């Protein structure tokens, strides 16, 4: 699916088309590299979130049942991505029907941060959920991180629970209700 916008540069219009697609094996490897880049950057900023060991294909396949990797592409360059799964037995074990996509491991390459791509990707995920007749998009995030909290809030995700785990003291479980698919 394409998500585009035009931007004026001088007297010319330049189009920045964002393509979001299921990742092939080469694209998954690029996405894994972006995750590692983000892990290292967060650590350098003294804001560790993830660990490199989480970002191998084996580790992600083990953690998420049948993960589907998606990438966002601008001008043939992968700018980030995410995982969608239909079941999340770790954080949402009570959800056993097929009504939900669980959104995990969202990342945007540092080069593309601050350019509204996260909002555009989240909009795409919500529309894709609607097309696939899902009732919810559910996710979890570190509630101690103000920018992440603000991003999910402005994109319509409502907190439904707060839990903790070994990495995060305030893990927010949030959901977006897809209207029209009830």
For the CA atoms of 24, 80, 104, 173, what is the dihedral angle to 10 degrees? -160
What does pTM read for this prediction?
A: 0.86
Tokens 């094996």 -> residue? 25
When mean pLDDT is compared across 9-23, 89-103, 119-133, 143-157, the lowest value belongs to 9-23
More confident residue, 40 or 130: 130
Task: Write the CA distances from 22 to 98, 108, 117, 128, integer angstroms.
Answer: 20, 16, 17, 12
Task: Write the CA distances from 51 to 27, 38, 88, integer angstroms.
Answer: 21, 10, 20
Judged against a pLDDT cut of 60, whether residue 12 lies above it is answered with no
Task: Write the CA distances from 148 to 18, 57, 140, integer angstroms.
Answer: 21, 25, 10
- What domains lie within the chain, and their CATH numbers? 2-177 (3.40.630.30)
Judged against a pLDDT cut of 50, whether residue 6 lies above it is answered with no
| Helices 117-131 and 146-154, packing angle to 10 deg | 40
Among candidate residues 39, 115, 41, 102, the one with its CA nearest the CA of residue 74: 115
Judged against a pLDDT cut of 80, whether residue 9 lies above it is answered with no
Q: Which pair of structure tokens corresponds to residue 111?
A: 């080069």
When mean pLDDT is compared across 44-48, 61-65, 137-141, the lowest value belongs to 44-48
Mean pLDDT of the chain: 87
Among candidate residues 24, 4, 2, the one with its CA nearest the CA of residue 13: 4
User: Band of the pLDDT at 4, cuts 50, 70, 90?
Assistant: very low
Give the whole-angstrom CA distance, residue 87 versus residue 165: 19
In this prediction, residue 38 carries a pLDDT of 82
Judged against a pLDDT cut of 50, whether residue 13 lies above it is answered with no
Q: Which residues contact 48 (CB under 8 A, 6 or more apart)?
A: 39, 42
In this prediction, residue 41 carries a pLDDT of 77
8-state DSSP, 16: E
């Amino acid at each position: 699916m394409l998500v585009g916008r035009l931007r004026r540069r001088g007297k010319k219009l330049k189009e920045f088309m964002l393509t979001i697609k299921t990742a092939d094996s080469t694209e998954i490897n690029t996405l894994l590299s972006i995750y590692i880049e983000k892990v290292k950057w967060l650590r350098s900023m003294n804001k560790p979130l993830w660990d490199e060991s989480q970002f191998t294909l084996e580790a992600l396949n083990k953690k998420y049942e049948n993960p589907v990797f998606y990438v966002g592409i601008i001008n043939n360059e992968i700018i980030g991505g995410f995982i969608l799964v239909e079941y999340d037995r770790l954080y949402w074990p009570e959800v056993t029907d097929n009504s939900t996509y669980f959104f995990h491991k969202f990342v945007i390459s540092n080069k593309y941060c601050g350019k509204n791509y996260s909002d555009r990707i989240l909009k795409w995920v919500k529309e894709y959920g609607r097309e696939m007749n899902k009732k919810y998009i559910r996710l979890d995030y570190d509630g101690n991180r103000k920018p992440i909290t603000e991003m999910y809030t402005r994109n319509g995700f409502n907190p439904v629970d707060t839990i903790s785990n070994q990495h995060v003291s305030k893990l927010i479980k949030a959901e977006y209700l897809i209207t029209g698919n009830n």
